[in-house]
Copies of this chain bind each other. A is one copy, B any other.
Amino acid sequence: MDRIGIEERIKDLACLRAENMYLDDFFLTWDKTDDEIAAVFEVAEILRGMRENNISSKVFDSGLGISLFRDNSTRTRFSYASACNMLGLEVQDLDEGKSQVAHGETVRETANMISFMADVIGIRDDMYIGKGHTYMEEVSKSVEEGHRDGVLEQRPTLVNLQCDIDHPTQSMADALHIINQLGGVENLKGKKVAMTWAYSPSYGKPLSVPQGIIGLLSRFGMDVTLAHPEGYEVMPEVEEVARRNSASSGGSFTKTNSMADAFKDADIVYPKSWAPFSAMEKRTDLYGNGDFDGIDKLEKELLAQNAKHKDWECTEDLMKTTKNGEALYMHCLPADISGVSCKEGEVAASVFDRYRVPLYKEASFKPYIIASMIYLSKFKNPSETLMNLMKNDKNRIF
């Protein structure tokens, strides 16, 4: 994309109604209008274009981007840091081990104490059903109040870097990858996407990826198939979202317990392990009761249950059954690759290898998606500001 291409996209952006994103959080894609979703894609592409043309996208002269990760993370951490850096925000980790949050401080207080100079807060909290999203709403409410009461000079906006319900930065990056692969969002209509469970020797992978995918891709008129063995249901509320989206977008949402059915004639396949929703709910209860023996027992049961479905693997044979045998294979990474990262896993090594470059490209959209979400929550007139940045024409590299 050259400068003219970027400016055209900025003009397109001006036609989208995204003004309600200003000073708002990004929690769930289905909270956002179609125009808002489209605006996130546009700004992500514009920021990418600017970077490719060595044009600075630094809109903050100073300011902090707070990050709060409840578990280990490489790619999300780096994507968030990259997004903040691209816009001029300095990342400051709230490491709960190092902080007084661990000492029984309330969420409301901590949220305010870390936010005096915070323009954005990114949170990843996906470990317990019913917890992550709730926690993010609590933080949001706290800083909203803090701003209203004159405690905070600015209202930091939140970006959901993965919760128990949705993983919007992942699903949006995935969608932008598909849009790029298919040559435009309009080409998604009628395409079949198979979001399917796959076997992994590990336990308790979050549901937010499959939920995020069916909740988002169902908006584009796609034929979305959710496949998993019996007992691996996702949250019923999110299935309902997918059903509603499909109805209004002219696509379809189908459930099946057969991986083969899902792969048959699919344009896109997304085979990925996750834990059953009901088991995760049970785990949250056990955790709440401090019943760690119960959790251990549950883990063992789940691993045994997983092991009955080792045939849920994305093999070359299955890939052959997809549209022209060349469906786009997707994954949020890291994948459990059979014979490579584990004995038996989600995907055959030869399939993974063949799709390595597209998989890495898929991941490469995430920093831009996050930056776009931050950007749209911080500028009242995003297209005007971007056009001014283009006029300003500062080099990223001198």
Tell me if A256 is interfacial: C-beta within 8 Å of chain B: no
Tell me if A75 is interfacial: C-beta within 8 Å of chain B: yes
Task: Give the contact stretch, choosing among A78-86, A222-230, A293-301.
Answer: A78-86
- Chain A, residues 314-329, CB within 8 Å of chain B (1/0): the string is 0000000000000000
Tell me if A99 is interfacial: C-beta within 8 Å of chain B: yes
- Counting every copy of the chain, the complex holds 3
Q: Which residue of B lies closest to A59 (CB)?
A: B398
Tell me if A101 is interfacial: C-beta within 8 Å of chain B: yes
Give chain A interface residues in 358-398, CB to chain B under 8 Å. Answer: 360-361, 363-364, 366-367, 378, 385, 388-389, 394-398
A153 / chain B contacts, CB cutoff of 8 Å: 48, 51-52
CB distance from A59 to the nearest CB of B (A): 4
- Chain A, residues 275-309, CB within 8 Å of chain B (1/0): the string is 00000000000000000000000000000000000
Take A100-B334, A113-B333, A378-B397 as given contacts and tell me if A62 and B85 are in contact as well, using a CB distance cutoff of 8 Å. yes
CB distance from A330 to the nearest CB of B (A): 15
| Bound CA–CA A110/B102 (angstroms) | 30
CB distance from A322 to the nearest CB of B (A): 23
Cβ contact within 8 Å between A92 and B81? yes
Tell me if A35 is interfacial: C-beta within 8 Å of chain B: no
Cβ contact within 8 Å between B109 and A333? yes
- Chain A, residues 138-181, CB within 8 Å of chain B (1/0): the string is 00000000100111110000000000000000000000000000
Take A151-B361, A153-B51 as given contacts and tell me if A113 and B75 are in contact as well, using a CB distance cutoff of 8 Å. yes
A341 / chain B contacts, CB cutoff of 8 Å: 104-106
| Bound CA–CA A82/B150 (angstroms) | 18
| Bound CA–CA A201/B146 (angstroms) | 29
A64 / chain B contacts, CB cutoff of 8 Å: 78, 81-82, 85
Cβ contact within 8 Å between A150 and B105? no
Cβ contact within 8 Å between B367 and A385? no
Q: Contact partner of A116 among B102, B112, B367, CB < 8 A?
A: B367
Give chain A interface residues in 171-226, CB to chain B under 8 Å. Answer: none
A91 / chain B contacts, CB cutoff of 8 Å: 90, 92
Take A51-B153, A100-B73, A117-B367 as given contacts and tell me if A334 and B109 are in contact as well, using a CB distance cutoff of 8 Å. yes
CB distance from A33 to the nearest CB of B (A): 25
Q: Contact partner of A385 among B58, B99, B398, CB < 8 A?
A: B398
Cβ contact within 8 Å between B360 and A146? yes
Tell me if A348 is interfacial: C-beta within 8 Å of chain B: no
| Bound CA–CA A378/B75 (angstroms) | 25
Chain A residues close to B by CB (< 8 Å): 48, 51-52, 56-64, 72-75, 77-79, 81-82, 85-88, 90-92, 94, 98-106, 109-110, 112-114, 116-117, 119, 146, 149-153, 333-334, 340-342, 357, 360-361, 363-364, 366-367, 378, 385, 388-389, 394-398
Q: Mind listing 23 A-B residue pairs with CB under 8 Å?
A: A48-B153, A57-B62, A58-B62, A60-B397, A61-B398, A63-B397, A64-B82, A72-B99, A74-B99, A74-B105, A75-B114, A77-B98, A78-B94, A78-B116, A82-B116, A82-B117, A90-B90, A106-B341, A109-B360, A146-B360, A151-B360, A151-B364, A152-B364
